[in-house]
Amino acid sequence: MTWLSVMMEGESEEIEQWTTELVEVLQQEAERQASNEDYPVAWAIRQHLRELAPQDVNNLLHIIRLSLELQKFTGEELTNLEIIELLQTEEISVDSDLLLLVLQRVLNHAFNEPAVFQFTEAGLHHVTKPEVFISIVMLASIRIAHSASQPRLASRYTELCLRLDPNHKEVLKHLSVYYQNSRQYTKGIETAQRCYNSANSLLEKVLANQLLLRGLMSASGYWQEAKSAFDNQKNLLLSLIEQWPRDIDQTSNIRLFNTSFFFPYFNDDPQNNRLIQNQVARLCHENVQVYAKDIIKQYCSSTRLPSTKANPNKVLKIGYISHCLRKHSVGWIARWLFQHHDQEHFQIYAYLVGYLSIDDFTQQWFVDNTYRTYGFEIPTMDVLNQIKKDEIDILVELDSVTFDSPCELLAAKIAPIQVTWLGWDASGLPSVDYFIADSYVLPESAQNYYTEKIWRLPNTYVAVDGFEVGVPNLRREQLAISQDAVIYLVTQGGYKRNPNNIRQQMKILKEVPNSYLLIKGSADEKAAKKFYEQIAEEEEVASEYMRFLPVVASEEVHRANLAIADVVLDTYPYNGATTTLETLWMCIPLVTRVGQQFSARNSYTMMMNAGVTEGIAWTDEEYVEWGVRLGKDPTLRQQISWKLRQSRQTAPLWNAKQFTQEMEKAYQQMWAKYLI
């Protein structure tokens, strides 16, 4: 204030000089206060500086940084300070390192704010270290896409990185996934193709082709291209297995783990499919042992043997690890196990991977029903540290090959017993001891091609007490379908749409007068419609008897809308799972085709454990026969519906408490075998 009062008496040249000197003094003092962590004073000084030099962009960056330190940053500062407009002016002088530091902090704090994206975009003009910028933005995009479940926003941030390096391989890989997950199907396929075209090594081709296959399958309607990519993937993997490299880097090794994910969607050939998956899993496991040798040694559960064996009657510590203990298929099923666990004889822990925050559903069903629950944004060594600290006896992994992170986490053999339940199928990892199944979901011969010991529960490998059902928003008149028409419904997304199975559905439609097929599930609507209509034309079924339904906002509404169907037609060779449970809970007849692989027998085991055999087919011909019979016989449909309603009181499928007791008995038996 003293300085300013003197400046008021000076000449214009003197005022300009004194202003420059004052700015220097205030900058030095602001830096000193910040270094002493007196952030309020530093922030106040920076505000005075702003009055003297309102267009000093570096001072504005410091104000934002200090606002973050003071935990008062809201995102509005970017607009109020007019810093975005200044950054859009390329002629200004910007401290690039400071810009990157502030950008990193802002993205961590408020990536969702529209102004933050604009700030990031404006910062492109002043980047002198492109790789650092790309690293910061890509790390944020991973959190945005996976932990915050906003892949479309993540794709926008990632596109900014391509402006600096249009051919950056790592950026393109992530961007392809973000496009696919946000239903930008064409972009997802095109970006994956770019990745494959730029791949040099065999391993790079395997990983890039998996992205391409994922894009084609999620879109639906690209069957020939997908089949070609599938054949290519099988050959690439067999070549890689023959080479058996032991120098795969960590990132590539994690991604390699689920590169046979789509095999069961193409054919029901578990012996050969499992052989490749088991070998890929073992290859990944061995590479983890190489690049994480010291970590594996540190966490290996063998160091616990003396103490655990001394107490055979201890309260067992059961740890569940998953990305999906939320409103997800795994979460909808697993919640009942947590609800009914015997807290007196079992201490339950949950390790939630890929979580920015805990929502009400996760809090109610999982956090509130565990002894301890931990959330992790990404699967780092922090997860292993916590599992080791908790001294978990049996670690139950719920995701399998659905996600790639279990490869590293399970390879350390952090718990004496490691088990896979739910997820996609067994992972094939040598460090996993057991795979939970029942007598229906896997045939007796399955143990011949599983590396894990198949642990069969006495009734069913899944059970729920029911599902919440909302208010339907789908009516026949909306679809221009008469009340006396027969409605068939398919509820599976793009991954599970196999042309041979669709052909059987068309045969059913053709044989049942006044019948319609409703197709629901995420996919590229235009491509999927063309796909179905082409097969319908070949089977002489008019396209006017098909309706494509949009994805609804909530699971509760989806279940309510199932009631529009007279019969639900399952997919093959990859059945429904949670969708089958929902269909049976809503008491709707189901036609399923049973195969040999795990994914072709889910509906079979669920129907058997609900006490319903009508609709179970063992051949394509039987599938068509059941579909036609149920379509033409309303009395039979009513009988099945009544039987399903009655089963709610008696069937193992709807008795989650009994199922939990059977799981707990299995854990105790596993522990007893371990102690022998």
Q: What are the tens digits of pLDDT across the range 537-559?
A: 999 999 999 999 988 889 999 99
Q: Distance between CA 623 and CA 638 in Å, rounded?
A: 19
| Average pLDDT rounded to a whole number, residues 662-673 | 97
Task: Cis check for the bond before 573: say yes or no (omega within 30 of 0).
Answer: yes
Say how many CA atoms lie within 13 Å of 155 toward its Cβ: 18
Using DSSP's 3-state secondary structure scheme, residue 239 falls into helix
What phi and psi, each to the nearest 5 degrees, are found at residue 408?
A: -70, -45
Percent of the chain with pLDDT over 70: 95
Q: Select 295-465+657-675's CATH number: 3.30.200.20, 3.40.50.150, 2.60.40.1260, 3.40.50.11380.
A: 3.40.50.11380
CATH architecture of 2-201: Alpha Horseshoe (1.25)
Is the pLDDT reported for residue 629 higher than 90? yes
Q: Evaluate whether 327 touches 364 at the Cβ level (below 8 Å).
A: no
Residues counted in the chain: 676
Q: Distance between CA 144 and CA 136 in Å, rounded?
A: 12
Q: Check the CA dihedral 7-8-13-16 and report its sign.
A: positive
Q: What is the pLDDT of residue 14?
A: 61
Beta strands in 529-635 (DSSP E): 546-549, 567-569, 590-593, 616-617
Q: Distance between CA 74 and CA 67 in Å, rounded?
A: 9
Q: What is the pLDDT of residue 306?
A: 45
pLDDT category of residue 18 using cuts at 50, 70 and 90? low
User: Which residue has 């491509």 as its token pair?
Assistant: 527
| Average pLDDT rounded to a whole number, residues 233-252 | 97
Q: Distance between CA 65 and CA 103 in Å, rounded?
A: 9
Domain boundaries 476-653, corresponding CATH code: 3.40.50.2000
| Average pLDDT rounded to a whole number, residues 246-271 | 95
Q: What is the pLDDT of residue 363?
A: 95
**Distance, CA of 136 to chain centre:** 22
Token reading at 308: 């655990």
Residue-wise burial string across 454-492, b where 16 or more C-beta atoms lie within 10 A, e elsewhere: bbbbebbbbbbeeeebeebebeeeeeebeeebbbbbbbb
Q: Evaluate whether 86 touches 57 at the Cβ level (below 8 Å).
A: yes
Q: What is the pLDDT of residue 301?
A: 55
User: Which residue has 């160091």 as its token pair?
Assistant: 303
Higher-confidence residue of 293 and 339: namely 339
Amino acid at 600: A
pLDDT digits (tens, 9 = 90+) for 570-603: 999 999 999 999 999 999 999 999 999 999 999 9
Q: Evaluate whether 335 touches 659 at the Cβ level (below 8 Å).
A: no
Q: Distance between CA 456 and CA 421 in Å, rounded?
A: 11
Q: Distance between CA 643 and CA 55 in Å, rounded?
A: 75
Q: What is the pLDDT of residue 294?
A: 82
Q: What is the pLDDT of residue 494?
A: 85
Going from N- to C-terminal start, the domains of the chain cover 2-201, 202-291, 295-465+657-675, 476-653
| Average pLDDT rounded to a whole number, residues 470-489 | 96
Q: Evaluate whether 388 touches 370 at the Cβ level (below 8 Å).
A: no
pLDDT category of residue 623 using cuts at 50, 70 and 90? very high
pLDDT category of residue 52 using cuts at 50, 70 and 90? confident
pLDDT category of residue 450 using cuts at 50, 70 and 90? very high
Q: Evaluate whether 501 touches 572 at the Cβ level (below 8 Å).
A: yes
Residue-wise burial string across 160-179, b where 16 or more C-beta atoms lie within 10 A, e elsewhere: bbeebeeebeebbbbbbbbb
Closest to 82 (Cα-Cα) out of 45, 122, 44, 49: 122
Closest to 429 (Cα-Cα) out of 439, 419, 442, 444: 419
Instruction: Indicate the DSSP class of residue 551.
Output: P
Percent of the chain with pLDDT over 90: 81
Q: Evaluate whether 322 touches 362 at the Cβ level (below 8 Å).
A: no
pLDDT category of residue 22 using cuts at 50, 70 and 90? confident
Evaluate whether 295-465+657-675 and 476-653 have a shared fold.
yes
| Average pLDDT rounded to a whole number, residues 343-359 | 92
Q: Evaluate whether 510 touches 540 at the Cβ level (below 8 Å).
A: yes
Q: Evaluate whether 185 touches 219 at the Cβ level (below 8 Å).
A: yes
In this prediction the pTM is 0.91
Q: What is the pLDDT of residue 402?
A: 77
Higher-confidence residue of 262 and 11: namely 262
Give Dmax (Cα) for the chain: 101
pLDDT digits (tens, 9 = 90+) for 166-223: 999 999 999 999 999 999 999 999 999 999 999 999 999 999 999 999 999 999 999 9
| Average pLDDT rounded to a whole number, residues 385-403 | 91
Using DSSP's 3-state secondary structure scheme, residue 102 falls into helix
Q: Distance between CA 598 and CA 574 in Å, rounded?
A: 9
Closest to 598 (Cα-Cα) out of 478, 436, 474, 481: 436
**Distance, CA of 377 to chain centre:** 13
**Distance, CA of 378 to chain centre:** 12
Is the pLDDT reported for residue 309 higher than 60? no
Q: Evaluate whether 549 touches 474 at the Cβ level (below 8 Å).
A: yes
pLDDT category of residue 303 using cuts at 50, 70 and 90? very low
